[in-house]
C-alpha cells in the first residue's frame, strides 16, 4: 500500500517527534523543547497496549495511526486489521494473518451489511466524540500534548437506578486523540462479573517507525474477500473460514481471551 504522508512531511515529523519522550505509562512525559505541535504529533503516532481481563492471560496490542490509515496489530494472535479512509470517506479494511503471511482485502461495501462505513472517528481514535460526551468528565491533569482527562460512565436502568457492576472509566489524551487507559465493568449472561482493561504501555512518535509498521505486511499474498468462496481448494482460506476470521475487520477492541467485542466500537 502507498505511503499515507508525503516523505518530506514524514522526515520533518520524524525530526520533530524525536524530541518527544515516549515513556512507559502511567506518567507519560514530554520534553519542554519539542518543536512539534500537538496537531502534528496526533497525525502520526503509535502506542502499545496491554489488554487484561479477570486474571486471564494478557493480550498485547500495537496501534498505529498516520494520515488516513490505522492499524490494530495483535502479535499474540498473529492478526492485524488495517483501515484506510478513501477519498469518498468510506473505510476499506484489510485483515493480515501474520504467521501465514496472507491477507484478506475487503471492499468498502463488504462491511456494515453492505452499506459501508464512514465512521473514521471511531476507527482512528477508538472513542467517538458522541461516546465521550455521554461520559462524565471527572478531572484533568497535566498540560501540553500529554494532558489527560478522566471520564466515568455509570449506566442506569429504566427506573433510573444504577446498574450493578456495570460501567466504564477512561483516561483520555485529548490533544493526541488517544486512549491512555480504558476500563469496562460488566456482568455476562451467566452472571459472572468481568473487568476488562486496556492500558497504554508505551507511546511511539518516531514517524519512520510508524510508517514502516503500517507497511510491514504489504508483501503478503492477498485475496479479495469477494473471491474467497471461489478458492475452496485453498487450505488456508478454509481454515480461516472455519475459525471465523474471514469476515469484516473487527473494531480493534478484544478481550484478554482474544475475543472481539461486539458492536464494532467501544461501549
CA dihedral 139, 143, 148, 150 (to 10 degrees): 0
Is residue 153 over pLDDT 80?
yes
pLDDT score for 186: 87
CA distances from 152 to 25, 51, 158, 173, 194 (A): 20, 19, 20, 15, 17
Is residue 123 over pLDDT 60?
yes
pLDDT score for 235: 86
**All three cell numbers of 52:** 487484561
101 close to 220: Cβ distance less than 8 angstroms: yes
> For residue range 89-120, what is the model confidence (pLDDT) as tens digits?
999 999 999 999 999 999 998 888 889 999 99
Residue 120's closest CA among 87, 97, 168, 77?
Answer: 87
> For residue range 215-248, what is the model confidence (pLDDT) as tens digits?
999 999 999 988 887 777 788 888 877 777 665 4
Among the ranges given (87-96, 162-171, 186-195), the one the predictor scored with the smallest mean pLDDT: 186-195
Residue 84's closest CA among 216, 221, 214?
Answer: 214
Helices (H) and strands (E) in the chain, counts: 6, 12
What mean pLDDT is predicted for residues 168-182?
96
Residues whose CB is less than 8 angstroms from the CB of residue 255 and which lie 6 or more positions away in sequence, other chains included: 51, 53, 56, 59, 196, 261
Sheet of 193-204: strands edge to edge? 136-141, 148-153, 167-173, 178-187, 193-204, 44-53, 59-66, 69-74, 79-85, 91-97, 102-105, 221-224
Residue 212's closest CA among 61, 113, 66, 12?
Answer: 66
Amino acid at each position: 500500500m502507498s505511503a499515507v504522508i508525503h516523505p518530506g512531511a514524514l522526515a520533518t515529523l520524524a525530526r520533530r517527534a524525536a524530541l518527544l519522550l515516549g515513556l512507559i505509562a502511567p506518567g507519560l512525559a514530554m520534553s519542554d523543547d519539542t518543536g512539534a505541535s500537538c496537531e502534528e504529533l496526533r497525525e502520526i503516532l503509535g502506542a502499545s497496549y496491554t489488554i487484561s481481563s479477570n486474571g486471564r492471560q494478557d493480550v498485547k496490542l500495537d496501534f498505529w495511526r498516520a494520515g488516513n490509515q490505522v492499524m490494530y496489530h495483535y502479535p499474540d494472535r498473529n492478526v492485524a486489521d488495517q483501515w484506510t479512509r478513501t477519498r469518498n470517506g468510506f473505510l476499506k479494511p484489510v485483515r493480515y494473518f501474520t504467521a501465514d503471511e496472507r491477507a484478506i482485502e475487503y471492499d468498502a461495501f463488504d462491511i456494515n451489511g453492505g452499506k459501508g462505513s464512514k465512521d473514521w472517528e471511531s476507527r482512528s481514535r477508538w472513542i467517538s466524540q458522541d461516546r465521550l460526551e455521554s461520559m462524565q468528565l471527572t478531572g484533568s491533569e497535566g498540560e501540553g500534548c500529554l494532558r489527560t482527562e478522566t471520564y466515568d460512565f455509570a449506566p442506569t436502568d429504566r427506573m433510573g437506578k444504577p446498574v450493578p457492576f456495570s460501567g466504564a472509566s477512561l483516561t483520555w489524551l485529548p490533544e493526541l486523540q488517544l486512549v491512555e487507559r480504558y476500563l469496562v465493568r460488566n456482568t455476562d449472561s451467566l452472571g459472572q462479573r468481568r473487568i476488562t482493561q486496556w492500558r497504554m504501555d508505551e507511546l511511539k512518535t518516531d514517524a519512520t517507525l510508524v510508517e514502516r509498521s503500517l507497511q510491514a505486511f504489504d508483501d503478503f499474498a492477498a485475496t479479495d474477500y469477494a473471491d474467497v468462496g471461489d478458492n475452496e481448494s485453498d487450505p488456508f482460506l478454509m481454515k480461516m473460514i472455519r475459525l471465523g476470521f474471514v469476515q469484516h475487520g473487527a473494531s480493534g477492541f478484544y478481550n484478554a481471551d482474544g475475543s472481539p467485542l461486539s458492536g464494532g466500537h467501544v461501549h
